[in-house]
Structure 1
Amino acid sequence: MNEGFGESMLQIRSLSSPCLPKNPCRMTSSRIFPKKSFFRYATGAGVFYCVAHTIARHVGELVICSGPSMLPTIQDGDLVLAERLSVTSGNIHRGDIVGCLSPHEPEQLLCKRVIAKESDHVDSELLPSRRVPRGHVFLQGDNQIASTDSRHFGPVPAGLVQIRLCLRIWPVSRFGWLSNHWFWESEEDIKRNAKDNTPSSRFYPRS
């Protein structure tokens, strides 16, 4: 009788053992937390963020413009490629469209055109000497009726200029350059190229 009992127990064990994992807790935890995959994705996301942040901080970024102050050149909702290399290299030219921190609201980025640079003559009541001070730029919106700019708050320090808008991406129907020079070209280079009839900047038509 004992032998029969032992045999029946062996049968039950052999039937039930394939259905139960040897270590169910370990199997369940490995399925819920795939540690290698998690750390791989986390590392990839961290690297991507660092690269994207570095590019946006030092090279350029995409910006969405809002407001009517730059009509008709830039319209509300335009997606524009902006670069920082012109700013860091000091190659901001008269006529460039830039993004500048507001002197009164530093968290706000203003989109304006550079009208004059240091030592340039400007007819403004805010400038008793009628000259732009050293290290400053005079900004103005293309739509002067709807623009609050240097005519109201005076020249701004050049250090507040953050980006230069160079290429409109969207809408596609208005895709095109907003600048007439590369970031490494100085104003002297532009004048020399124009005098020598060099076509280095011809594919940058002004909007």
Structure 2
Amino acid sequence: MLSSEDHSPTAIPAESIRDDEKMPAPEVPISYVIRDIVETIVLTLLAFWLAQSVIQGFRVTGPSMTPTLLDGQFLFVNKLGYFLEAPERGDIIVFWPPYESEDRLIKRVIGIPGDEVAVHDQHVFVNGVELDEPYINADPSYSGEWHVPEGEFFVLGDNRNSSYDGHNWTSFVPRDNIVGKAAIIYWPVPNWGLAPHVPILADN
């Protein structure tokens, strides 16, 4: 004879489990915490170092590159721009001047190693060819001739008559003095855009 008793297991409400019966959360060893903190710091410093090695900010000071770049503008400089290739005529570069100074300069490359640069009759000539320069503020009022040595560059400001540059110096800009290639104007916002490099007198 079958019994009418219910032998099914009795469900125990989850709420009835005592707190001391719950599984304790595993403790994280202090060494793991320290390791995570150290890794975070190291990665942050590495990222900062890489950023500084590739891109650097620069503030335009003075009117020497007017109208191309204005006093007070900020731009990013690509420090790896010349890692595999040399500066070209028409490039805008940031560099340490060939004389003792704590300030970096920004100018346009006019002559590359081996070039013969001349300024006369208010025009610039490279290797006997007159340059078409739509970016300058005014025709130069000075004159002169320069032979660009190997490993060095001749630079001028776009504001030809208000720029302390290659036509004033007794030396040129060594390749090692070049910080990088002007990349992006980022401030003020209305002036945002790529730095206006203009190829001039491309080699045939």
TM-score > 0.5 by shorter chain: yes
Partners of 1:133 and 1:155 lie apart in 2 by 8
Partner residue of 1:173 out of 190, 194, 200: 190
Q: In percent, how many aligned pairs have the same letter? A: 26
Could you say which residue in structure 2 is the equivalent of 1:149? Answer: 165
In the superposition, the TM-score normalised over structure 1's length comes to 0.61
CA shift for structure 1 position 132: 0.8
Q: Distance in 1 between matches of 2:150 and 2:193?
A: 33
CA offset at residue 101 of structure 1? 0.6
Aligned-residue CA RMSD (Å):
2.8
User: CA offset at residue 142 of structure 1?
Assistant: 1.1
CA contact (8 A) 1:79 1:168 kept: yes
Change (3 A) 1:97 1:122: same
- Conserved 8 A contact 1:87-1:162: no
Alignment of 1:64-79 (within 5 A): 64-79=59-74
Using the alignment, how far apart are the partners of 1:126 and 1:45 within structure 2? 55
Shift of 1:43: 4.5
Question: 1:46-195 to 2 correspondence within 5 Å?
Answer: 46-57=42-53, 59-123=54-118, 130-153=146-169, 154-180=171-197
Q: How far did 1:41 drift?
A: 4.9
Amino acid at match of 1:131: H
Pick the structure with more helix per residue: 1
Q: How many residues in Structure 1 have an aligned counterpart in Structure 2?
A: 148
Per-residue deviation at 1:61? 2.1
C-alpha deviation, 1:36, in angstroms: 7.7
Runs of 4+ residues over 4 Å off in structure 1: 34-43, 124-127
Offset from partner CA, 1:98-126 (integer Å, 9 cap, x none): 00112212532111110110111112787
> Aligned pair in 2 of structure 1 residues 164, 157: CA closer, same or farther (>3 Å)?
same
Distance verdict in 2 for CA 1:150–1:104, change over 3 Å = same
Q: CA deviation at 1:180?
A: 4.7
For 2:131, the equivalent position in structure 1 comes to none
Partner of 1:89, secondary structure, is coil
**Partner SS for 2:62:** coil
Paired with 1:64 and 1:136, the residues of 2 have a C-alpha distance of 24
Q: Which has the higher contact order (CA 8 A, sep 6+)?
A: 2
Superposition map of 1:1-40 within 5 A: 40=36
Change (3 A) 1:48 1:122: same
Name the SS of the counterpart of 1:162 in structure 2.
strand
Asked whether the equivalents of residues 90 and 197 of structure 2 are also in contact (C-alpha less than 8 Å), the reply is no
Unaligned runs of 5+ in 2: 1-29, 120-142
Q: Is the 8 A contact 1:81 1:166 kept in 2?
A: yes
Over 3 Å counting, the alpha-carbon distance change for 1:42 and 1:108 in structure 2 is: farther
Structure 1 stretches of 5 or more lacking a match?
1-33, 182-186, 192-207
TM-score (norm: length of structure 2): 0.62
